């Protein structure tokens, strides 16, 4: 099934579920409650939904990131006070209305507005189910807090899952990665949203729609907090990306080498069973493993002829220089040892420290294997004519890795890497057939 | 109704916590992250030029103190600190041979080297969170008599950059006298005043700590 077909299949499934939910819920909006409450809640929710926040993903997945908004607390509060039918309808109405309003401004395609709407209804339904299961006895009390947290959790989990599946279909990445990435911020988001949701519940219960005016200021504070959190995330990715550009500029790599190396490295790390956030760090470390070369003289790096021993000494400094560049940047500190040791060899003949076997971190061994492999198949400099080094084929390169296993490369990593390559070949062959 | 009171108190307390987080703690942390990220770039330049350019750790703290002394508001001080880290980033675009030339530079090479401020500023302009820092970075070698209307932060950076270079090559007193000679010509008079009084204060503080600890031991 093509990407387009998969997307529309997924969209139609979601649309059917959402429509069924909405029909089942009936039309509770205007009949049961006063018009004032309805207008007030919808206005606040639309405001909340319109103040979109851009959550940056890794640029590799999606350059524009993920737009999200903070209407969830309003929806949960509405579910607690007015029941799940109201919540489901509210969520459908506001995500459609706010989406259509902000569509032009944020340059979003109308297809995403509808996708967002059909994703939000099952999420609200899940939250409603949870709240209905543990209906709090006094409507506003300390127990409400617990119910709120459960409701928020249900909503966020279902919504994150649905969004992840959509992202995975559109961007052709694995569901697990996107889900894992967005899950990392879940505890913080719930901690930020719970007080607001509680306040809205209390205001609605005590004063009706008028109480919502008092909620506006805290709402903006919440949005500010989320914006800053998103910016911090963006800063992290931007720093890595800019450093990556500098590495690319310093050394005549063609664009693909670093990206390919990092993707292989992450796949190997996953195959080795490292936890997801560790795999992401391996990706970043592989992207920046030659950071130290930005410090060296371009004339030595770009020299077409063989290097003299002094120049070779100079080149051999680059792992340590790379580590030194990052030593004042605590948020990148986990990858420093991997960068410093990516030229170590298990038999102890590598540089700069001459470590052996298990003394070298696993991640550094992974980067060493993957980097060597991509250089062997000619990915490092395909446009450069090298008389003394001819590009090998895939099979030859794997045999070469096998020969170096135990001395130049780590045996376990080479084994895993071969599995990854075989799986990739199989998938590529299947793709070529289809 | 007891439950209601608890609810109100909890709500107000959590609102205060949220406001503190959103407007004080989180921006401060974001700024610290920015500085840490930019420090990697400054360190890169420092290593590439054997420590001649891009020194920023001693400067960032001193620039902040001087700006505080001159009454710059918090956001201006933060921008100044970011400018300290960003100012020499443009050196990545300048060939290694010119940056590390052991002999004196020719006028053409000097002109090329002097373009680093412009390059750094245009790099800063590309980055969404940093475009406001770009004017300071562009003018970080500003001469007071040529452009007295430049932002105060740029004047601070210009004076402190020269001060640091002289202080590391010669000594602190020579550096202070260089600043004094340039008052009104090369450096902003108020800025030089602030820097000198900050430095004097620091040397006094140093003595005070010394005597205090000596008194403890006696």
ipTM of the complex: 0.82
A294 to chain B: which residues are within 8 Å by CB? 44, 48, 92
The count of other CB atoms within 10 Å of the CB of residue A276 is 17
Select B2-217's CATH number: 1.10.3720.10, 3.40.50.880, 3.90.850.10, 1.10.3210.10.
1.10.3210.10
Q: Which residues of chain B have pLDDT under 70?
A: 1-4, 7, 206-218
Q: Say whether the peptide bond before residue A352 is cis (omega within 30 degrees of 0).
A: yes
Give the model's pLDDT for residue A1.
67
* Separation between Cα atoms, residue B41 and residue B34, nearest integer Å: 11
Q: Which of residues 184-203 of A touch B (CB under 8 A)?
A: 192, 194-196, 198-199, 202
Q: Which of A145, A232, A328 sits opposite B40 (nearest CB)?
A: A328
* Separation between Cα atoms, residue B159 and residue B172, nearest integer Å: 14
Residue A335 in contact with residue A284, Cβ under 8 Å? Answer: yes
- A368 vs A45: which has the higher pLDDT: A368
Output the CATH code of domain A3-237: 1.10.1760.20
Domains of chain B, by residue range, sit at 2-217
Q: Looking at the complex, report in whole angstroms how far the Cα of residue B44 sits from the nearest Cα belonging to chain A.
A: 5
Nearest-10 Cα torsion for B118, B121, B122, B127? 170
Q: Do the chains contact at B7 and A325, CB–CB below 8 Å?
A: no
CATH 1.10.3210.10-classified regions of chain A: 251-433
CA angle B90, B95, B97 (to 5 degrees): 135
A243 to chain B: which residues are within 8 Å by CB? 40-41
DSSP bridge partners of A416: none
DSSP A385: -
**Is the pLDDT score of A370 beyond 90?**
yes
In chain A, the percentage of residues whose pLDDT exceeds 90 is 20
Q: What's the pLDDT tens digit per position in B91-149?
A: 988 888 898 888 888 999 999 999 999 999 998 888 777 889 999 999 999 999 999 99
**Is the pLDDT score of A242 beyond 50?**
yes
Interface test mutation site (partner B, options A145, A231, A317, A320, max chain B beta carbons within 10 A):
A231
Cα separation values, A210 from A39, A407, B190, B210, Å: 11, 74, 54, 63
Contacts within 8 Å (CB) and 24+ apart, B95-103: B95/A298, B96/A296, B96/A297, B96/A298, B96/A299, B96/B48, B97/A297, B97/A299, B99/B48, B99/B49, B99/B52, B99/B53, B100/A297, B100/B49, B100/B50
**Is the pLDDT score of A218 beyond 90?**
no
- Least confident stretch, A64-73, A94-103, B33-42, B89-98: A64-73
Q: Do the chains contact at A195 and B14, CB–CB below 8 Å?
A: yes
**CA A221 to chain CA mean position, Å:** 25
B11 to chain A: which residues are within 8 Å by CB? 195, 198-199, 202
Give the model's pLDDT for residue A10.
85
Q: What's the pLDDT tens digit per position in A16-30?
A: 888 888 877 776 655
Q: What's the pLDDT tens digit per position in A320-367?
A: 999 999 998 999 999 999 999 999 999 989 889 988 888 999 999 999
Domain A251-433 has CATH 1.10.3210.10: yes
Q: Looking at the complex, report in whole angstroms how far the Cα of residue A279 sits from the nearest Cα belonging to chain B.
A: 21
Residue A92 in contact with residue A120, Cβ under 8 Å? Answer: yes
Give the model's pLDDT for residue A382.
47
Q: Looking at the complex, report in whole angstroms how far the Cα of residue A335 sits from the nearest Cα belonging to chain B.
A: 13
**Is the pLDDT score of A32 beyond 70?**
no
In chain A, the percentage of residues whose pLDDT exceeds 70 is 88
Q: Which of B23, B33, B95 sits opposite A224 (nearest CB)?
A: B23
Taking residues A284-312, what's their average pLDDT?
Answer: 87
Query: According to DSSP H, which parts of A309-377 are helical?
Result: 309-315, 318-326, 336-340, 362-376
Q: Do the chains contact at B19 and A199, CB–CB below 8 Å?
A: no
- Least confident stretch, A49-63, A238-252, B69-83, B177-191: A49-63
């Amino acid at each position: 099934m093509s990407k387009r077909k998969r997307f529309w299949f997924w969209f139609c499934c979601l649309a059917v579920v959402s429509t069924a939910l909405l029909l089942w819920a009936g039309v509770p909006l205007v009949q049961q409650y006063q018009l004032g409450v309805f207008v007030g809640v919808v206005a606040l929710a639309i405001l909340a939904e319109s103040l979109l926040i851009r959550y940056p993903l890794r640029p590799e997945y999606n350059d524009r990131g993920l737009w999200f908004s903070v209407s969830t607390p309003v929806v949960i509060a509405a579910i607690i006070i007015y029941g799940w039918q109201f919540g489901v309808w509210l969520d459908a109405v506001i995500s459609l209305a706010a989406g259509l309003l902000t569509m032009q401004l944020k340059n979003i395609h109308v297809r995403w507005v509808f996708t967002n709407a059909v994703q939000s209804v099952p999420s609200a339904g899940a939250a409603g189910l949870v709240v209905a299961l543990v209906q709090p006895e006094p409507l506003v009390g300390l127990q409400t807090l617990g119910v709120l947290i459960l409701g928020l959790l249900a909503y966020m989990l279902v919504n994150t899952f649905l969004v992840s599946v959509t992202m995975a279909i559109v961007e052709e990445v694995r569901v697990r990665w996107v889900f894992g990435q967005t899950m990392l911020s879940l505890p913080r988001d719930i901690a930020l949203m719970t007080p607001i949701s509680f306040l809205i519940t209390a205001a609605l219960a005590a004063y009706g729609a008028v109480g919502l005016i008092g909620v506006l200021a805290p709402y903006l504070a919440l949005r500010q907090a989320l914006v800053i959190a998103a910016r911090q995330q963006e800063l992290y990715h931007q720093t890595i990306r800019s450093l990556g550009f500098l590495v690319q500029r310093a050394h005549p790599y063609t664009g693909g080498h670093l990206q390919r190396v990092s993707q292989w490295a992450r796949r190997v790390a996953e195959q080795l069973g490292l936890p997801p956030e560790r795999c992401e760090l391996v990706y970043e470390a592989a992207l920046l493993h030659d950071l130290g070369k930005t410090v060296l003289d371009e004339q030595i790096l770009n020299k077409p002829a063989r290097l003299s021993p002094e120049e070779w000494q100079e080149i051999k400094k680059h792992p340590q220089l790379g580590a030194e560049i990052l030593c004042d940047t605590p948020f990148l500190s986990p990858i420093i040892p991997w960068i410093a040791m990516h030229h170590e060899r298990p038999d102890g003949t590598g540089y700069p420290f001459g470590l052996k076997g298990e003394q070298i971190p696993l991640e550094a061994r992974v980067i060493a294997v993957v980097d060597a492999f991509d250089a062997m198949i000619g990915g490092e400099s395909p446009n450069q004519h090298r008389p003394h080094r001819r590009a090998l084929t895939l099979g030859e390169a794997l045999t070469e890795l096998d020969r170096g296993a135990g001395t130049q490369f780590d045996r376990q990593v080479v084994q895993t890497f071969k599995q990854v390559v075989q799986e990739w070949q199989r998938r590529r062959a299947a793709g070529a057939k289809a | 109704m007891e439950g209601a009171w608890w609810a109100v108190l909890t709500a107000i307390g959590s609102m205060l916590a949220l406001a503190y987080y959103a407007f004080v703690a989180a921006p401060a942390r974001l700024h610290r992250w920015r500085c840490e990220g930019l420090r990697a770039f400054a360190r890169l330049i420092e290593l590439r030029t054997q420590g001649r350019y891009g020194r920023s750790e001693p400067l960032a703290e001193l620039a902040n103190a001087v700006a505080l002394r001159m009454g710059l508001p918090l956001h201006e001080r933060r921008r100044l600190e970011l400018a300290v880290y960003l100012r020499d980033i443009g050196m990545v675009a300048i060939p290694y041979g010119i940056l590390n030339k052991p002999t004196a530079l020719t006028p053409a090479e000097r002109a090329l080297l002097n373009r680093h401020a412009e390059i750094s500023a245009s790099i800063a302009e590309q980055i969404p969170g940093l475009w406001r820092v770009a004017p300071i970075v562009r003018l970080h070698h500003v001469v007071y008599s040529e452009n007295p209307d430049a932002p105060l932060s740029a004047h601070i950076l210009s004076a402190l950059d020269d001060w640091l270079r002289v202080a590391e090559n010669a000594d602190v007193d020579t550096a202070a006298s260089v600043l004094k000679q340039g008052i009104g010509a090369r450096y902003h008079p108020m800025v030089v005043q602030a820097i000198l009084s900050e430095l004097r204060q620091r040397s006094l503080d140093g003595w005070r700590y010394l005597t205090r600890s000596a008194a403890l031991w006696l």
